[in-house]
Amino acid sequence: MKRDTRKESPVLGRLLRYMRPHLLFLVLALLAAAASVGLTLYGPVLIGRAIDMIVGPGQVKFTGVLYILLWLAGVYLLAAVFQWAMTLCTNRVAFFTVRDLRRTLFDKLQKVPLRFIDQSAHGDLITRMVSDIDLISDGLLQGFAQLFTGVITIVGTLLFMLSINVKIALVVVLITPLSLFVASFIARHSHDQFRRQSAARGDMGALVEEMVAGQKVVRAFRYESRAQDTFDGINQQLYQCGVRAQFYSSMTNPCTRFVNGLVYAGVGIIGAVAAIAGHLTVGQISAFLTYANQYTKPFNEISGVVTELQSAFASARRVFAVLDEPDEPTEAPAVLPRSDGSVGLEQVSFRYSPQKPLIEDFSLAVQPGQRIAIVGPTGCGKTTIINLLMRFYDVNSGRICISGTDIQDVTRQSVRQQYGMVLQDSWLFSGTVRQNIAYARPDATDEEIVAAAKFAHAHSFIKRLPQGYDTVIGEDGGSISQGQRQLLCIARILLVSPPMLILDEATSNIDTRTEQRIQRALAKLMEGRTSFVVAHRLSTIKEADNILVMRDGHIVEQGRHQQLLDAGGFYAKLYASQFEVQETAAQ
């Protein structure tokens, strides 16, 4: 237990730091909680006193009773108001704290090196952003409130009970922890079952996801009955674990209720015995009975809160793990002026992981206006070059210069502004067509936007969209085709008109007519601009001023088309395989 708290205290401390701006409400919440609990606990005392004034026929002191009842009404009204105030304050603290936490996390994602984003599963990061932070809000902040009121209730009840009668109070104090003991005993035993259940549930989820998503393949290979057998197996397993886990965990409630019953009976008996001996009034027994119920309730709740807190801490740790990622290294403040389009790579070495050398001692000089083709089999690491040029990643040694300036000596932003980038999986955000084109220059006029769209051959299809330039594109650009998305990206770049380009040629998912449009738009875009093209079509490659041939992440050859063919290396093999095969097939 102790080791746990030591481990969790920094997490708790950090969470408290996020709560600090809402400290006022936190304090108010605690005060309101204390007031509400105190007043609620005062109620049974007043009720007890009232009962003592209602002893029997002809022995009722009406004025006294009335006086107490008025008091009681005031006390309960106030308690309710404070309870409401407490919930309002904790809500504020909870919701605004998680809002700030989310914003901090999002900020962080803007600052981490691309390496981190590339290496993380995006689904996992989004889970942290959405569900983990939600768990923190539910578990920690609301659990915290419950824990706090629980503790105050226990302490308060104890004090009130002690003030009425020490002996009976001791009985309650001694029996009650039994329920805690029982609860933790059950929790320990059901924990194991829960683990097994969640493992089985995980298996089941994975299988369902796989088989349902792959249903068409299942159908094509007549795999249905085999899949059903596997499914039935896991389903049975889940049943076995499920029954046990559910039963064990549902034992807690009746068991603790039983213990509470014992306390209740104990107080009743001992109270009655004491009353017969004259140590206690009937009203006091009534107060005790109420307290006995109230005293045990928070114990039961606290055991529930503890598990909630644990999962909140686990989630918080996952969120903080991201926040602890180092930022992109700070950069020189100098700004790179608009370049003439010359790029130099001097003895550049780069590797993603220290053990795997990728690019070693690579040099390349690009004159303004030249076209560089990057070719190689899929997965050969063509994006690595883009990553280095755009300074998404920094080189390990050597340097990359634009117009003679080392790009490490200037701001990343000014380096990235030199390039226009059209990738194959063109990224659009959910917003209107107009907003997407003007993404880099929100101040662009409508004329400029339309001009850019016309230049990119996008105007004609945009006009046909239901709301023209104001058509909202869904997440991932759902409503328009991939080729059309690329045209929008080209228009977006035209609006900024950068001196250099990075292009990723389409392979095969675009229909021919749109592809022709893209080709024409790209050709116009490349005029007079230095361009780096991840190339798939022969014509582009043949016309390139320099071809970088990549294989398994390394640049294995560079030169012009004819030079490389004459050299008879990997490029020549790649090239030959295409024609060789075409010839044999034609025979």
CB of 305 to another protein, least distance (A): 17
Contact positions with another protein (CB under 8 A) in 24-63: 40, 43, 47, 50-51, 53-60, 62
User: CB of 240: closest distance to another protein in angstroms?
Assistant: 9
Between CA 149 and CA 82 the distance in angstroms is 12
Closest to another protein by CB, 60 vs 567, is 60
The binder of another protein chosen from 507, 563, 567, 568 (CB under 8 A):
507
Task: Kindly tell me the sign of the dihedral angle through the C-alpha atoms of 274, 280, 282, 284.
Answer: negative
Q: Does 396 participate in binding another protein (rule CB under 8 A)?
A: no
Give strand pairing partners of 345. 364, 400
> Does 543 engage in binding with another protein (CB under 8 A)?
no
How many Å apart are CA 40 and CA 298, to the nearest integer? 14
Out of 16, 23, 24, 77, point to the residue binding another protein (CB under 8 A): 77
In whole angstroms, give the CA distance from residue 454 to residue 402.
Answer: 31
Near another protein in 255-284, by CB under 8 A: 255, 257-258, 261-262, 264-265, 268-269, 272-273, 275-276, 282
Nearer to another protein, 242 or 559 (CB): 242
Residue 378 or residue 562: which is nearer to another protein going by CB?
Answer: 378
CB of 169 to another protein, least distance (A): 18
By CB under 8 A, is residue 554 in contact with another protein? no
Of 246, 370, 403, 471, the one binding another protein (CB under 8 A) is: 246
Nearest approach in angstroms of CB 214 to another protein is 5
Which residue in this structure is represented by tokens 């662009």? 444
Position of tokens 């900024």? 496
Cross-sheet strand order for the sheet of 397-402:
359-366, 343-350, 397-402, 405-406
User: Distance between CA atoms of 447 and 414, rounded to whole angstroms?
Assistant: 27
Task: Indicate whether 289 belongs to the interface with another protein (CB under 8 A).
Answer: yes
Closest by CA to 526, choosing from 387, 372, 320, 313, is 372
Residue 545 in contact with residue 372, Cβ under 8 Å?
yes
Of the pair 184, 228, the CB lying nearest another protein is at: 228
Under rule CB under 8 A, how many of the chain's residues touch another protein? 157
Minimum distance of another protein from residue 443's CB (angstroms): 12
Residues within window 337-356 making contact with another protein, judged by CB under 8 A: none
Residues 466-495 that bind another protein (CB under 8 A): 475-476, 481-483
Helix (H) or strand (E) holding 42, with range, is helix 23-52
Helix (H, G, I), strand (E, B) or coil at 406: strand
**DSSP code per residue over 277-304:** TTSS-HHHHHHHHHHHHHHHHHHHHHHH
C-alpha 435/C-alpha 579 separation (Å) is: 45
The one among 430, 445, 467, 479 contacting another protein by CB under 8 A? 430
Nearest to 85 by CA among 145, 165, 164, 6: 145
In the complex, minimum distance from the CB of residue 462 to another protein, in angstroms, rounded to a whole number:
18
DSSP designation for 60 = B
Task: Kindly tell me which residue out of 42, 160, 392, 393 binds another protein, with binding defined by CB under 8 A.
Answer: 392
User: Residues 177 to 216: which contact another protein by CB under 8 A?
Assistant: 204-216
- Say whether residue 67 binds another protein (CB under 8 A): no
Query: What string of DSSP letters covers 80-109?
Result: HHHHHHHHHHHHHHHHHHHHHHHHHHHHHH
Minimum CB separation from another protein for residue 187, in Å?
15
